[in-house]
Structure formats: structure tokens, C-alpha cells
């Protein structure tokens, strides 16, 4: 193992146990809960260890600054931003998010060890609630910073226990911060690949070209709660039937279009074995390479669900919870970095904070090979050597963008 791979492993082992579920081996690192708060403290300690002052934007996002003196007023202009997120999906993988933050601190170390002196700040970010696993809206922190979500709407988002984002944050989120955003000249997010393209390409690192348009739609199906044993089949208005049909329709309509559709989350009321549900709520995650295909897919699923609801005597309500347009990363920057790193360029179907910031400043992503290709699961993986290759690549990119 290389020296850098060893240093990666040492730093990685410092956070690996935080929020890890002993049974599944997956991570329960919901935004602003105890495990993620511990990682935020780790972030501060790492920044402090490197003499990097940490600022917050009032939305739950953290920023560690290296370069020009960045006293409290964050005077650094043209700063190069990197980093990612700590939060996970339920029982998610170890690398999705934290890899980008750990790699950023190690890339700073590499640059310093090489005697690099940035002519503009290098800033490491930890964005809050990227997965949307607690409050339901993905990339909540970066959407707040950029003004892509209203601070009052964000403040009122509630988790399963009814805790609002404002309560978890300890204050109403500050919302858009154009001054802070204006201090960044570029954002580069390193992330574990959530697929097998780098395995197939036999390469440790890639540059991102685009993020598929995607979104989340809440399908609420209301019927008539009743006794499972005494209610005649002909008399039932069972929303579980409409739900089941909707799930199958989503899968079929996606396959017909070469798109992706998943219903991975469902809530049933009253959720009793011997009661016909009164309400079933399912969340559709739909994604496609082109916006038109995505729109057509969701329309088709919605139409099929409505048709079935009429047959079942149930009532359907569909609410878009978050939508992300096609993100075409800055082509010049992606090409420049791909040439610098001699790395392949890949699209992805996964959303990222980089996808939000890309509408506001030149943005790029680096992907690190994931031998299993699996993500949002304990099976997500990356080798220490590939992670070290990611650090080297990120350091070269930061040197290219911040030291000339």
C-alpha cells in the first residue's frame, strides 16, 4: 500500500465507525443527528489541525478555508471550493459523501507537502442533507445556499418524528447567500462512482460530464380503511391495490423508455395486518437521460395510477417533492480536467450538490472507482489505492485551479 493510501486509511478509520449499523453494516447518518454531528466535529478538528478557519452559512453548511487570510469575513475571492456531504441514506454505504470530504483534506495535505501556495483560497465544504433522507428534499444545504429552495419552506420541512429542519438546525435557515457564493470561482466535488463504468474502463478516476434529470414524486392513495376479515372483496376500496399497480407500472414504463424508476419508500396507514389500509403513500424516484423522456415517464406512471384508482375506487394525489433538471457540467472545465488527469468522462444518474452549484458557478466532479458498482447500500466499496488515486487527482485539479 502506498504511503498516501496508508494515510487515507488512517484518516478513514477515524470516521468509519461513526453511525455504522452493527447489523446491516450500513450507515445511519441522518443530517444533524448525533452521528452526523460527530462527523461535523471531526470536520472542525481536521480543519483546525490544518490551520483552516471554519465558517458556516447559516444553512447548516460548513466551509474550511485555506489560502488568502480568510478571517471571519471570508475575504477570499475566486476561491476554489471542494468537498461533499456527510449524511447518508438509511443503511447507506461508507463512501457516498464522506469520501469527497476526507479526500479534500488529504489533497490539501498533498499540496502543502509539495510546497504549493494557492493564489486564491481553497475551501473544503460539508453540505447538509444532501440525501434528503431526513427532511425529504435532497441537496437541501446547497439549494439553500444558492436560493434554489425558499428558506421558509426548508425551515418547515419535518422528519419522521415531526422535528422541523429549523428545530434541528437550531434556527431558521439563513437562505441564499450570494455574497458567499460569489466568492467561489469553481466547485469540484470528488465522489465514489455509483455504478461500474470505471470498472469496465479499468480506470481509478473519471470526470463527470452530466447528471441525468431526475426527481421525487409523492403518490398518495386514499381508500377506505376496513376490517380485513369481514369486508366483502366487492365492497373494498383498497389503496394497496392501486399502489401495487403503480409500482409495476413505474417499472414497465421506465423499461420501455430506457429510463430508471424506483418506488423504494412506502408508508401505510394504519399499517395493520388485519386492516384494509385507509391510505398508502409511495415515493417515486424517476430519472432519464433526457428531460423529455423523464417528463413522459412520470406522466405515463401518473396516468396508469389514475386509471387504476378509478377501478379501485381510490383517490390519487401526486405531488412533486423535488426535481433536478439535466445538469451539463462546464464542458470546458470537464475537458480541461479530463486532459489533465488522462481520465475518462462519464455521465451519472445520481444527484449531487455539484448538480445544484453547477447552475451558479463552473463546477466539475471526479468519480472514484467502486468495484461493486453498488451504492446506497452497505455493499458500496472503494479500495484504498483507488481512494489515494482520487486524492492525487483532486490535488492536481486544485493545484491547476488555485495555484496559478
193 binds, among ligand HGY, Mn ion, none (CB under 5 to 8 A by kind): none
Query: What minimum distance in Å lies between the beta carbon of 234 and ligand HGY?
Result: 41
The single residue listed with the C-alpha cell 425558499 is 150
The single residue listed with the C-alpha cell 457540467 is 329
Query: What minimum distance in Å lies between the beta carbon of 88 and ligand HGY?
Result: 9
138 binds, among Mn ion, ligand HGY, none (CB under 5 to 8 A by kind): ligand HGY
Residue 347 C-alpha cell reads as 455521465
Nearer to ligand HGY by Cβ, of 109 and 131: the residue is: 131
28 binds, among Mn ion, ligand HGY, none (CB under 5 to 8 A by kind): none
Query: Do 152 and 144 form a contact (C-beta atoms < 8 A)?
Result: no
Q: Which helix (H) or strand (E) holds 321?
A: strand 315-324
Nearer to ligand HGY by Cβ, of 66 and 127: the residue is: 127
Residue 180 C-alpha cell reads as 458567499
Query: Do 312 and 268 form a contact (C-beta atoms < 8 A)?
Result: no
Query: Do 390 and 205 form a contact (C-beta atoms < 8 A)?
Result: yes
d(C-alpha 393, C-alpha 338), whole Å: 10
Nearer to Mn ion by Cβ, of 90 and 325: the residue is: 90
Contact residues toward Mn ion (CB under 5 A) are 96-97
Contact residues toward ligand HGY (CB under 6 A) are 130-131, 138, 350-351
Query: What minimum distance in Å lies between the beta carbon of 370 and ligand HGY?
Result: 13
391 binds, among Mn ion, ligand HGY, none (CB under 5 to 8 A by kind): none
Query: What minimum distance in Å lies between the beta carbon of 324 and Mn ion?
Result: 13
Contacts of 403 by beta carbon, 8 Å cutoff, 6+ apart: 111, 116, 117, 118, 119
Query: What minimum distance in Å lies between the beta carbon of 237 and ligand HGY?
Result: 33
Nearer to ligand HGY by Cβ, of 215 and 239: the residue is: 215
Number of Cβ within a 10 Å radius of residue 230: 7
* Of the candidates 106, 86, 103, 357, the residue with the CA atom closest to the CA atom of residue 205: 103
87 binds, among ligand HGY, Mn ion, none (CB under 5 to 8 A by kind): none
Nearer to ligand HGY by Cβ, of 26 and 138: the residue is: 138
351 binds, among ligand HGY, Mn ion, none (CB under 5 to 8 A by kind): ligand HGY
Query: What minimum distance in Å lies between the beta carbon of 190 and Mn ion?
Result: 11
Nearer to ligand HGY by Cβ, of 351 and 362: the residue is: 351
Query: What minimum distance in Å lies between the beta carbon of 131 and ligand HGY?
Result: 5
* Of the candidates 31, 356, 323, the residue with the CA atom closest to the CA atom of residue 164: 31
97 binds, among Mn ion, ligand HGY, none (CB under 5 to 8 A by kind): Mn ion
3-state secondary structure of 161: coil
CA atoms lying within 13 Å on the CB side of residue 195: 12
118 binds, among ligand HGY, Mn ion, none (CB under 5 to 8 A by kind): none
Beta bridge partners of 283: 218, 265
Query: What minimum distance in Å lies between the beta carbon of 141 and Mn ion?
Result: 12
Residue nearest to Mn ion (CB): 96
Nearer to Mn ion by Cβ, of 96 and 238: the residue is: 96
Query: Do 136 and 217 form a contact (C-beta atoms < 8 A)?
Result: no
Nearer to ligand HGY by Cβ, of 138 and 277: the residue is: 138
Query: What minimum distance in Å lies between the beta carbon of 181 and ligand HGY?
Result: 21
d(C-alpha 29, C-alpha 26), whole Å: 10
Number of Cβ within a 10 Å radius of residue 131: 23
Query: Do 150 and 160 form a contact (C-beta atoms < 8 A)?
Result: no
Residue-level length of the chain: 404
277 binds, among Mn ion, ligand HGY, none (CB under 5 to 8 A by kind): none
Nearer to Mn ion by Cβ, of 133 and 341: the residue is: 133
Amino acid at each position: 500500500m502506498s504511503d498516501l493510501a496508508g494515510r487515507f486509511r488512517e484518516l478513514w478509520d477515524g470516521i468509519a465507525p461513526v453511525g455504522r449499523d452493527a447489523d446491516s453494516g450500513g450507515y445511519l447518518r441522518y443530517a444533524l443527528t448525533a452521528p452526523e454531528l460527530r462527523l461535523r466535529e471531526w470536520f472542525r478538528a481536521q480543519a483546525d489541525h490544518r490551520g483552516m478557519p471554519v465558517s458556516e452559512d447559516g444553512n447548516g453548511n460548513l466551509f474550511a478555508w485555506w489560502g488568502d487570510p480568510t478571517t471571519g469575513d471570508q475575504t477570499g475571492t475566486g476561491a476554489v471550493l471542494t468537498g461533499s456531504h456527510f449524511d447518508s441514506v438509511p443503511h447507506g454505504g461508507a463512501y457516498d459523501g464522506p469520501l469527497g470530504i476526507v479526500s479534500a483534506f488529504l489533497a490539501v495535505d498533498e499540496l502543502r507537502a509539495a510546497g504549493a501556495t494557492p493564489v486564491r483560497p481553497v475551501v473544503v465544504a460539508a453540505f447538509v442533507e444532501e440525501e434528503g433522507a431526513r427532511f425529504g428534499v435532497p441537496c437541501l444545504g446547497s439549494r439553500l445556499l444558492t436560493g434554489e429552495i425558499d428558506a421558509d419552506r426548508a425551515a418547515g420541512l419535518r422528519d419522521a418524528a415531526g422535528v422541523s429542519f429549523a428545530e434541528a438546525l437550531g434556527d431558521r435557515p439563513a437562505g441564499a447567500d450570494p455574497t458567499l457564493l460569489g466568492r467561489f470561482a469553481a466547485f469540484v466535488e470528488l465522489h465514489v462512482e455509483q455504478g461500474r463504468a470505471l470498472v469496465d474502463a479499468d480506470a481509478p478516476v473519471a470526470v463527470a460530464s452530466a447528471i441525468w434529470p431526475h426527481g421525487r414524486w409523492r403518490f398518495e392513495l386514499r381508500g377506505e380503511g376496513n376490517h380485513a376479515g369481514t369486508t366483502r372483496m366487492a365492497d373494498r376500496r383498497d389503496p394497496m391495490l392501486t399502489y401495487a399497480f403503480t409500482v409495476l407500472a413505474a417499472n414497465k414504463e421506465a423499461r420501455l423508455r430506457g429510463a430508471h424508476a424506483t418506488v423504494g419508500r412506502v408508508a401505510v396507514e394504519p399499517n395493520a395486518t388485519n386492516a384494509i389500509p385507509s391510505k398508502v403513500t409511495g415515493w417515486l424516484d424517476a430519472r432519464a437521460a433526457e428531460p423529455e423522456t423523464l417528463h413522459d415517464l412520470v406522466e405515463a406512471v401518473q396516468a396508469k395510477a389514475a386509471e387504476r384508482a378509478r377501478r379501485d375506487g381510490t383517490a390519487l394525489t401526486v405531488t412533486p417533492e423535488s426535481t433536478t433538471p439535466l445538469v451539463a457540467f462546464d464542458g470546458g472545465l470537464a475537458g480541461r480536467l479530463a486532459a489533465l488527469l488522462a481520465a475518462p468522462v462519464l455521465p451519472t444518474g445520481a444527484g449531487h450538490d455539484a448538480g445544484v452549484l453547477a447552475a451558479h458557478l463552473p463546477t466539475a466532479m471526479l468519480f472514484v472507482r467502486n468495484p461493486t458498482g453498488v451504492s446506497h447500500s452497505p455493499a458500496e466499496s472503494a479500495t484504498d489505492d483507488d481512494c489515494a488515486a482520487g486524492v492525487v487527482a483532486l490535488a492536481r485539479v486544485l493545484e491547476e485551479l488555485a495555484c496559478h
